Amino acid sequence: MALLWQRTVGDTRYEVRSAGRTRRLYSNGVFHSQFNPRRPLTGNLWDLLFLPAFFREPGSIRRVLVLGVGGGAVIRQLRHFVQPDHIVGVDIDAVHLSVARRFFGVRGADVELVRADASRWLAAWRGPGFDMIIDDLFGGSDGEPQRAVPLDGGWARTLLRHLRPQGMLVANFISTAELKRCALCRTPSLRRRVPAVFSLKTPQNENSVGVFLRFAATSGDLRRRLAATPGLRPAAGGSRLRYQIRRIP
């Protein structure tokens, strides 16, 4: 994989690498983003962050908030498959946002990129709510990724406050065990606010993506809509979509 660009800012070394049209972003060796415009499905974890949009009918996801932009792969996927009217991406790292624009093509009238501490930004937000919030706030330690903001009771309440009544929260966790320990699973008063909770995984990753829906749904709803969407039919020849879904009781 060829090195396209690198920069060191303080204690952080950033690299953008390429393999053909594929672009990858690394920060201190932590793999943050991957995208290829000719193959918008990555076959990896990032696919799981946008897939929950298909728990809703096509066209119903109009406003999306992405917390933790990285290189912006999930924003490119949302634009390709979901086509919301407006996407807000928040990241504390100015270099990530610059890389997202320059190397991953995250720019346009439908996208707003904001440099800010995501937890503080959302706590102060007084604008309209979102149909979908994606919490992919990750940092790294010794080359290993870890959640930057625990999904405890305070953070869960902040996220839910900015979700529309039929909205959904998608959050990335290191493991299914970490997902099941979060406040939205363990705190009864919060769990009642999300009638349906699912875990999404890929065969090659330990990460578990939690899907918290403010409406009743089944895994069959997701599968039927994916099967009806060109490029997302898991059984289609050549499809890169690989996922496992489990309901969290």
Bridge partners (DSSP) of residue 132 are 64, 168
The residues, any chain, with a CB within 8 Å of residue 176's CB and separated by 6 or more, are: 199, 201, 208
**Confidence grade of residue 142 (pLDDT, cut at 50, 70, 90):** low
What is the pTM assigned to this prediction? 0.95
Looking up tokens 């396209």, which residue turns up? Answer: 4
Whole-number pLDDT of residue 183: 98
**Confidence grade of residue 161 (pLDDT, cut at 50, 70, 90):** very high
CA atoms within 13 A on the CB side of 222: 23
Whole-number pLDDT of residue 196: 98
**Confidence grade of residue 144 (pLDDT, cut at 50, 70, 90):** low
Structure tokens at 120: 């503080």
**Confidence grade of residue 44 (pLDDT, cut at 50, 70, 90):** confident
Q: Percent of the chain beyond pLDDT 90?
A: 85
Whether residue 203 is predicted with pLDDT greater than 90 in this model: the reply is: no
Domain boundary assignment for the chain: 42-247
Q: At residue 36, what are phi and psi to the nearest 5 degrees? A: -135, 115
pLDDT digits (tens, 9 = 90+) for 77-93: 999 999 999 999 999 99
Looking up tokens 């089944």, which residue turns up? Answer: 218
Whether residue 236 is predicted with pLDDT greater than 80 in this model: the reply is: no
Q: Picking from 38-42, 94-98, 125-129, 155-159, which range would have the lowest pLDDT averaged per residue?
A: 38-42
Mean pLDDT for all residues in the chain:
94
pLDDT digits (tens, 9 = 90+) for 4-31: 999 999 999 999 999 999 999 998 888 8
Regarding the domain delimited by 42-247, which CATH topology (the fold level of the hierarchy) does it fall under? Rossmann fold (3.40.50)
